[in-house]
Copies of this chain bind each other. A is one copy, B any other.
Amino acid sequence: MARPIQFDRKDVLEKAMHAFWDQGYCATSMASLVEITHLKPGSIYAAFDSKEGLFLAALDHYGKRSTAKIEQSLASADTPLQGVRDHFRQMAESAADPIAKRSCLLVNTALEFGRGNPAVLQRVNHHLGVIESLFLEALESAQASGELGEDKDPEALAAFLMASIWGLRVLGSTAPAPERTRSVVGQLLSLLD
């Protein structure tokens, strides 16, 4: 029995996410968020409590977005292992595209906040954990079907794949050479054979 919210929350989160992704948490000012979201300060604070609140919401938005993309890669492949390969090849290609976003917001956040902010780090670890479990699931399924050798350790491989993703993301923001990224992906995927 009152005035309903005027803005589209998803749209605002998407815009805020890109701002934080591009510039980092600290370097993204409230003034720029006001400009980007076309909201006034009061509306932002009413909806998200604080700059950190808005950031956490944007982080969750990013997390869901990322896991959905991976789930799609895995689901649309012929076999589980092929899905994993597809996702990494796709990552290598997008790293070559200058328009595609650099690095990974989760990684950026983990590094920017250090051990300083438990609430933020817990959220980051949660999303990273979900992603890793998707890979682990695929690897275990591949092993069950005989696609992945019995001598392989799915858990160790999943952890390794996560570390590789992070490395690739950093690689993408330093060396823009496409063949370089493809070469690294080729190396790491050879561990799945």
Contact = CB atoms under 8 A, between A and B. Distances in A.
A107 B104 CA distance: 13
Contacts of A188: 160, 163, 188
Contact of A26 (B26, B124, B186, B187): B26
Interface string A168-193: 10110111000010011011101100
Contact of A159 (B153, B180, B190): B180
Interface residues of A, number: 45
A170 B107 contact: yes
Interface of A: 22-24, 26-27, 102-103, 107-108, 110-112, 114-116, 121, 124-125, 128, 153, 155-157, 159-160, 162-168, 170-171, 173-175, 180, 183-184, 186-188, 190-191
